Structure 1
Amino acid sequence: MVREWWRNAPLERRRTVRLVAVSAVAGVVAAAGAVGASGPWESGQRRAERDRAAAGAARAADGHTGPVPPTAPPVLAAIGGRATAQEPTRDGLAAVLEPLLKDAALGSDHSAAVYDAATGQQLYGSAQDTAYTPASTIKPATAAAALAALGPDHRIDTTVVAGGDGIVLVGGGDPTLTAHPAKAGPQQAASLQALAEAAARRLKERGTDRTKVAYDASLYSGPAVHTIGPNENLAPVSALMTDEGRLDDSDHGPAARTADPAGDAARKFAEMLGEQGIKVEGEVTQGTAGAKAERLASVSSPPLGALVERALTNSDNDIAEALARQTALASGQPASFEGAAKAVTERLGKLGLPGVHVADGSGLDRADQASAGFLAQLLVRAADPAHPELRPVLTGLPVAGFSGTLSGRYADEEAGRGTVRAKTGTLTGVNTLAGTAVSADGRLLTFAFMASGTSDADAAQRALDRMATAVAACGCRG
């Protein structure tokens, strides 16, 4: 049936379907190459996306339903530094990008940088060293610092310890700890219910069915509320919270937030203990766990690599701020906004990436400053075979037209669908895009485009998407 449709379809329609199919497969293959040095595909984060894209491309191309095997060795080789595809020239890239940079939608100030992922060489730049507010494109920098400090396999524990008069729930800084029924998946969130069940079992083993409950969120310090104030994009930053302090069942995007994430988590924990037959005496109180307190139970977050992927795919502010504070803890800095900013900056410097001013982990603070050159070089470093620990920075990038904050974009940019992966950034008057693109010749490139003083966010985003698509669509050797 599909084969008959293919034979009878108009030529232009077949060309369009073939183009979409090739784009999807190329994007899948490029991403697979990016993660190859560090283990399973994207820590399991988007295995379904890979399978759907590959199978859909196969059906569109020839009527078969099986996945398409990798067919682009040059793309895979680009990550390992053995690229055979020709890299674009500066003149070639300038010919396609400079007309697009004149788009009025990009506002009063804008910049661009394109690098070759295999060689690390800059291929194009326009005001590439000028620092602008990056908005959420600072998140890959936060993620890289955390991965460098802790490694992609690190997990964050939430524990229950014995207190002087009962038990203490101790937050370790996992914002994804969930009070909802646990969702099945390879990177399942830590469950508060499972923690309550384990704690109840230990208490019963110790011969008691009643206890007092306190909670300890002292691992983090300094102000909990971001400088932008309470809002639906970020809960107060706490070492103890469930479901990122959300007051609904959503797992990403804006949502009403609790003003007391630690207290709410502890009270929910006490309620769950009651359901396990443990009577909680008195009110839940704030306390401090002793340094040598006996651990009774614990649950662990998904690996840090998976948290990075989730933070980048969904532009998750809460996870990003947690990554920054975990970096501070690993670096001996106070786990505050200020300490985290200092720790992230120092880690980036050790990666050979100076010249950025970090004010927070999420990019909500307009005091963050980064250049297009910095952002593009950061992604080169994430692709470097010498730094496999940074690979989740690449694999977490949204796929154009498929996932995360790019799932609703690139509808009119077919050459970019599947071949562009990028982190978006949006604040009032600020629009940015930083990511990777597979060129028409199969070369993996990194890019960053920044626009400041924009007045129409949708128009600015379309202009940025056209630029990323232009990089993906051209050989650019003229």
Structure 2
Amino acid sequence: MGFAAASAVAGIVIATGAVAASGPWDGGQRKAERVRAAAAVRPGGDAPRGAARAAGPVTAPPVLGALRTRGAAASRESLAGALEPLLGDSALGTDHAASVVDAATGEQLYGSGEGTAYTPASTIKIATAAAALAALGPEHRIETTVVAGSDGIVLVGGGDPTLTAAPSGKGGGPRFASLSDLADATARSLKARGTARTRLAYDASRYSGPALHPIGLNVNIAPVSALMVDEGRLDDSFRGPADRTAEPAADAARKFADLLRERGVEVEGDVSETRADAKAARVAAVASAPLADLVERALTYSDNDIAEALARQTALASGRPADFEGAAKAVTDRLAGLGLPMEGVRIADGSGLDRADQVSAGFLARLLARSADPRTPRLRPVLTGLPVAGFSGTLRDRYPRENAGRATVRAKTGTLTGVNTLAGTAVTPSGRLLTFGFMASGTTDGDAAQRALDRLAAVVATAG
């Protein structure tokens, strides 16, 4: 028999996903850079101002503590003298640009073509993340719910890209909201009312417009849907390229039906698409990790599906349609509201897969500096999510042990055919935090271009 809405009112079961409320996805990934920044010794044996002077191990202050001015201003001449020869590397292609900004003062210390807009590739995720945090705040969570329908129950997608059907503790870990937990809670609620069978429909209407990214169905991104599990992956991988389903919402509903059957609830007929009543009684729900964690994961691993979800969540928070166009406008408006230079900026998607995206190196460097500003603390996950050179995410296999910049550079990478970018932060030997944006277009050897960009960032960490 169906599950009547009236019977659900008295016994709503909320199964919040097992999530951790604080800390980055890679816990402890910043220890190396903190230690190096604090332990750096100036010529003559003086420890950096603010470092511990007592006997024994030096206690490292947080890297963001470098926002306070400590020591003389970074030398423009030193940066220019070190960066300009490297910018002449042919590996950087036909067009390139650079910008370095002092995070504490907002002053640009070096610029070369910094106002010219280029295709940013995945470094646009920095902008997407900042806009989402500005719109929703770092503690916001995305819910997936089950509500009572006219003839059964309805699985309603809220847009959580990290919802997983994997067993608890596998793959993404406890921070993912679990479809299994949602099935547990739903089955308990149904059985508490003597209901052992029901019909199941699904509602993915929170997002609108075309689901396919302009690049089409692709191993790098699933159709953008308000309801999906495991990012629509057709294997058991949890990040990186993978074959994707063309029907993420329907697949999620079918998996949910299977989970209910495993828990002794008979699901009658096939799942179907519907639109739930906005006033329908809630049966069960799971919640994503806080938005700060989603941002960190999107940046650390360059996750396209999370990035597109962040853009659409920004659209919803801004009262715009949650499609590619509405999301692009909402992200643009939020960035402008942060007081950033918007000349030449064009946001086309949230992930950077669209070559129509356009930003400048100066924009990226200043956005990162704004994210470090103590007056905008809600943007801090933009910095904490950046991969650490030689240690995590998309920079794990770059910056070999002997390379300068290892651990003191953290940055978002960007790669498309003919496009290579890098934008992030660097901690100087004196403990000063600098932000940078490097963009290269017309590259022909992606590996060589990446090495050239890495050398530029390493120079910021040393010559700065």
Per the normalisation by structure 2, the TM-score is: 0.88
How far the C-alpha of 1:164 sits from its partner, in A, is: 0.1
- Secondary structure (helix, strand or coil) at the match of 1:467 reads helix
Partner residue in 1 for 2:407: 418
1:474 to partner: Cα distance: 1.8
1:171 aligns with 2:160: no
1:63 aligned partner? none
- Residue 331 of structure 2 aligns to a residue whose secondary structure is helix
> Cα gap change, 1:83/1:167 in structure 2, threshold over 3 Å: closer, same or farther?
same
1:78 maps to 66
Give the partner amino acid of 2:418. Answer: G
Count how many residue pairs are aligned between Structure 1 and Structure 2.
Answer: 425
Which residue in 2 is equivalent to 1:18? none
Q: Which moved more, 1:106-115 or 1:84-93?
A: 84-93
User: In the alignment, does 2:29 pair up with 1:49?
Assistant: yes
Which of the residues 307, 310, 315 maps onto 1:323? 310
1:272 is matched with 259
Corresponding residue of 1:254: 241
Deviation of the 1:70 alpha carbon: 3.0
Deviations 1:402-453 (A, max 9, x none): 0000000011652210000000000000000000001122211000000000
Displacement of 1:104:
0.2
Change (3 A) 1:54 1:338: closer
Match of 1:298 in 2: 285
> What CA RMSD, in Å, does the superposition of the two structures yield over aligned residues?
2.1
Q: What is the rounded CA distance, in whole Å, between the counterparts of 1:93 and 1:119 in structure 2?
A: 17
Gaps spanning 5+ residues in structure 1: where?
A: 1-39, 59-66
Q: Distance in 2 between matches of 1:146 and 1:247?
A: 28
Structure 2 match to 1:129: 115
- Give the Cα separation in 1 of the matches to 2:405 and 2:21: 21
TM-score, normalised to structure 1, is: 0.86
Deviation at 1:41, TM superposition (A): 11
The offset of 1:88, in angstroms, is 1.6
Whole-Å separation in 1 of the counterparts to 2:185 and 2:110: 56
1:233 aligned to which of 174, 198, 220: 220
Whole-Å separation in 2 of the counterparts to 1:42 and 1:105: 40
Verify the 8 A CA contact 2:177 2:289 in the aligned structure 1. Answer: yes
2:359 is aligned with 1:359: no
How far did 1:42 drift? 6.8
C-alpha displacement of 1:457: 0.1
Residue in 2 that maps onto 1:109? 95
CA gap of 1:413–1:340, structure 2 versus 1, over 3 A, is farther
- Distance in 2 (CA, whole Å) between partners of 1:161 and 1:213 is 10
Please tell me whether the aligned partners of residues 42 and 396 of structure 1 are also in contact (alpha carbons under 8 angstroms).
no
Paired residue secondary structure (1:394): helix
- 1:307 aligned to which of 260, 273, 294: 294
Q: What amino acid maps onto 1:78 in structure 2?
A: A
**Aligned-pair identity (%):** 69
Q: Does the C-alpha gap of structure 1 residues 41 and 206 become closer, same or farther in structure 2, counting only changes over 3 Å? A: closer
Q: 1:266 to 1:69 in 2, by over 3 A?
A: farther
Alpha-carbon distance in structure 2 between the residues aligned to 1:90 and 1:135 = 28
Is the partner of 2:422 in helix, strand or coil?
Answer: strand
Q: What pairs with 1:5-154 in structure 2 (closer than 5 Å)?
A: 43-50=23-30, 70-71=59-60, 76-79=64-67, 82-154=68-140
Describe the SS at the equivalent of 1:277. coil
Instruction: Find out whether 1:396 has 2:385 as its counterpart.
Output: yes
In the alignment, the residues of structure 2 paired with residue 123 and residue 52 of structure 1 have an alpha-carbon distance, to the nearest angstrom, of 26
- Structure 1 counterpart SS, 2:270: coil
- How far does residue 182 in structure 1 lie from its aligned partner after superposition? 2.1
Deviation at 1:51, TM superposition (A): 5.8
